[in-house]
Copies of this chain bind each other. A is one copy, B any other.
Amino acid sequence: MTASNAQWLLRRRPQGMVTLDDFEYKESPMPSADLAAGDVLVKNLYLSFDPAMRGWMDDAPSYLPPVAIGEPMRASAVGQVIASENTAMPVGSLVQGMFGWQQYAVSKSSDLFPAMALPEGTPPTMPLSIFGGTSLTAYFGLLDVGQLQAGDTVLVSGAAGATGSAAAQMAKLKNCTVIGIAGGEEKCQWLRDECKLDAVIDYKSENIEQRIGEICRQLDCEGINVFYDNVGGDTLEAGIEHMAKKGRIVLCGQISAYNDEQPQPGPKNLMKLVVNSIRMEGFVMIDFMDRIDEAMNDIVTWVLEGKIAYREDIQEGFDNIPATFFRLFAGQNTGKQLLKIADPE
């Protein structure tokens, strides 16, 4: 056991694009192994990076309280128990939880998101990638919020991301026609070849609005029935333009806007929602906490049957934590963004 606990703290609230100066590296004392009943001391192995974390840095009312200034940045992680007062999670076992940007964390049974043991034999990255919150988000967003029906034409933005690629392939599993929007030929190729999407739009080289229209005409469909949107801004506006009557727009996130210093104007065409009787609905995964087991059963089945392709983009090194986070907003990650801090012992 080392004597110190390296941490990346939130130094200040970002103004616009998040930068390295918004964080502070600190060597804190190692947390005490003198634990209360139910608690565990965890050594972090892998950290998860999600666009929603950017929202947690702002001092604005949201579905979770903001990360406090001077606290380690909040993040999902997988770690190994090195001291335990919890029989379900003995020393040496792998656990997941909201352990944050630090080497070691005490996870209390009273925490909002307490540590959970990984099922025996689970590769340590999978609870953060395909068996993680991004897949659950895709599941509830598409099936519950989006009220997906077999035969629907489905549009997914941020389609090569962890949530987007899961949503797109779940729609394929449900016998829908799926159009994905992603940035760059490599991502588009993966969506075509591995995820088997019906059509892919490269937003870096194509006009999204025009291409959705062309593809709908080629597919001879009346428009988009379900639009699973991770992006917001112009992408959302382009999708609204081509929604079918009674279409559903699932607002999962707005990565195009998270780092705006001033909020950008919204879509100019909301009147389309009136004349075409369209529903646009936001959600967060924690709305569905009571149904996680049901969803995870389906997801595990699909993954084990090889029906959902996924990629993990695993960076390495504790020093690279902020830089790895920034990859999300530059669209650099190929698949679920993770970072490895240590190997299990």
A275 touches B232 (CB 8 A): no
Which candidate, A25-33, A90-98, A276-284, A302-310, is the interface stretch facing chain B?
A: A276-284
Which candidate, A103-111, A128-136, A258-266, is the interface stretch facing chain B?
A: A258-266
A253 touches B274 (CB 8 A): yes
A271 touches B232 (CB 8 A): yes
Decide yes or no whether A298 CB sits under 8 A from chain B: no
Beta-carbon nearest neighbor of A279 in chain B: B281
Whole-angstrom distance from the CB of A11 to the nearest CB of chain B?
23
Chain B residues closer than 8 Å to A334, beta-carbon distance: none
A: number of interface residues (CB 8 Å): 35
CA distance A282 to B287 in the complex (A): 23
Tell me whether chain A's interface is mostly helix, strand or loop, or mixed: loop
Q: Which residues of chain A in 245-301 are interfacial with respect to chain B, using CB atoms and an 8 Å cutoff?
A: 251-254, 257, 263-284, 287
CA distance A267 to B282 in the complex (A): 15
Decide yes or no whether A55 CB sits under 8 A from chain B: yes
CA distance A254 to B251 in the complex (A): 21
A221-255 contact mask (Cβ, 8 Å, vs B): 1 or 0: 00000000000100011000000000000011110
Chain B residues closer than 8 Å to A87, beta-carbon distance: none
Beta-carbon nearest neighbor of A250 in chain B: B274
CA distance A188 to B86 in the complex (A): 62
A273 touches B265 (CB 8 A): no
Whole-angstrom distance from the CB of A319 to the nearest CB of chain B?
31
Asked, given contacts A254-B270, A265-B266, A266-B270, whether A276 binds B232 with beta carbons under 8 Å apart, the answer is no
Whole-angstrom distance from the CB of A144 to the nearest CB of chain B?
11
B268 touches A264 (CB 8 A): yes
CA distance A263 to B272 in the complex (A): 12
CA distance A273 to B277 in the complex (A): 18
CA distance A276 to B61 in the complex (A): 9
B268 touches A254 (CB 8 A): no
CA distance A273 to B252 in the complex (A): 9
Beta-carbon nearest neighbor of A252 in chain B: B274
A263 touches B274 (CB 8 A): no
B282 touches A275 (CB 8 A): yes
Whole-angstrom distance from the CB of A272 to the nearest CB of chain B?
8
Whole-angstrom distance from the CB of A341 to the nearest CB of chain B?
29
Q: Which 3 A-B pairs have the closest CB atoms?
A: A265-B265, A266-B266, A273-B282
Q: 10 A-B contacts, Cβ less than 8 Å apart? A: A61-B275, A232-B271, A237-B266, A251-B274, A263-B268, A264-B268, A266-B268, A267-B270, A273-B281, A277-B287
